[in-house]
Amino acid sequence: MSLETAWLGVLGLMLAGYFVLGGYDYGVQMLHPFLGGTREDQQAERSGQNPALDAIAPFFLGNEVWLVAFAGVMFGAFPHLEGNLLSGLYPLLVAILAGLVLGNAAVQLRRRSRGAGARRVWDALVVVGGAVPAVCWGLVVGLLLHGVPRRADGTFHVGYGEVFHPFVPACGATVLLLFAAHGAAFVAVRATEPELVARARQLGGRLIAVSAVAGLIALLLTLFGEGAHMTNKTTSVILAAAVFAAYGAAWWSLSTGNHVRAFVSTCLATALPVLLLGAGQYPYLLITKAGHGLHIDDAITDHETLKILSVFGVFIVPTILAYQAWSWWAFRGRTGRRHLSYF
């Protein structure tokens, strides 16, 4: 394996890790107003405690490390991709960052509010802070799969016509609903109260089904020539089939009450689109509708710089993985009204 391919794999690993870990954060944020309802839940809410949000609390800010790592790898190893991607997708990326800041602040400040009215405002901001990054990442994935226009000078530009092409909003809806279902599966794994687990399981099953329908619309648009533009057709078909298989496994597992298997399935469903982007369009990192674009050799830094980065990567990447494994082990206990509240 060449250094170029290895670093492309590291870039994909960072983004897939962020989708899996940040995805359930956004999902729980979007769903937390719908996961209460019992008298005990209402009593807990009056004290500021929310069992659904407590499920993500130990990992909340730590999951954003994967986004920082993704940006670091892109800046260091793929500087030409970074220049094209950030300039072309600037409005969506700004919206993602704004949603992250808003959601992080709202989650941590809601318990400090006085009165039910103020808490409802913070709750609404928590939902917005989860929904905005989720749908914007879906739009980004849709744009990259569909292909972005390339100017005469070689730069890429995304306009309103590309964002509102039917395929791109279909991808946005798919990811939004998938992240919500992913969050529901996570709550079902982490929570202790039977009522909360049952609500999360029911919501997750419905959301994964609707997300699959939105994904099917995107697939049909692709089959009729108005969807994704891939260079490796066979690989893309296999990976698309794997995504829908993960959907099916998640729905079946939620229906039968196997929460761990459901969460593993939603993890796969959130990670596989990143692999579809990388492997389905290889050797291009940004593709146009005509089937060509920014080649990996034009996007990556020089070989000597990659060698220097590899020395650091040998230590940094395992450290990130070890940190994530340790945090999951340290906070492996379930959460709920009878357990410690982190927020």
Phi then psi dihedrals of residue 285, to 5 deg = -105, -30
Phi then psi dihedrals of residue 114, to 5 deg = -110, 120
Instruction: Give the domain ranges of the chain.
Output: 22-330
Residue 335's pLDDT is: 67
Q: Which of 4, 16, 96, 82 is nearest to 321 (CA)?
A: 16
3-state secondary structure string across 165-233: CCHHHHHHHHHHHHHHHHHHHHHHHHECCHHHHHHHHHHHHHHHHHHHHHHHHHHHHHHCCCCCCCCCH
Running DSSP on this structure, what letter comes out for residue 53? H
Residue 97's pLDDT is: 93
* CB distance 78 to 300 below 8 Å: yes
Residues 131 and 112: their CA atoms lie apart, in Å, by 23
Looking at domain 22-330, its CATH class is mainly alpha
Continuous H helices in the chain:
3-31, 39-46, 51-56, 65-77, 79-88, 90-109, 116-146, 160-163, 167-190, 194-223, 233-256, 259-280, 296-299, 303-330
Q: Which of 219, 57, 45 is nearest to 146 (CA)?
A: 219
Residues 127 and 264: their CA atoms lie apart, in Å, by 24
* CB distance 30 to 180 below 8 Å: yes
Q: How many CB atoms lie within 10 A of CB 220?
A: 13
- Please list the pLDDT of the chain residue by residue as tens digits (343 residues): 688 889 999 999 999 999 999 999 999 999 988 886 544 445 555 455 677 888 888 887 778 889 999 999 999 999 988 888 887 788 899 999 999 999 988 888 887 777 777 788 888 999 999 999 999 999 999 999 998 887 766 667 777 778 889 999 999 999 999 999 999 999 999 888 888 899 999 999 999 999 999 999 999 999 988 889 899 999 999 999 999 999 999 999 999 999 999 999 999 999 999 999 999 999 888 888 766 788 898 889 988 999 999 998 899 889 888 988 888 888 877 765 555 555 5
DSSP-assigned beta bridge partners for residue 295: 284
Which amino acid is residue 256, in one-letter code? T
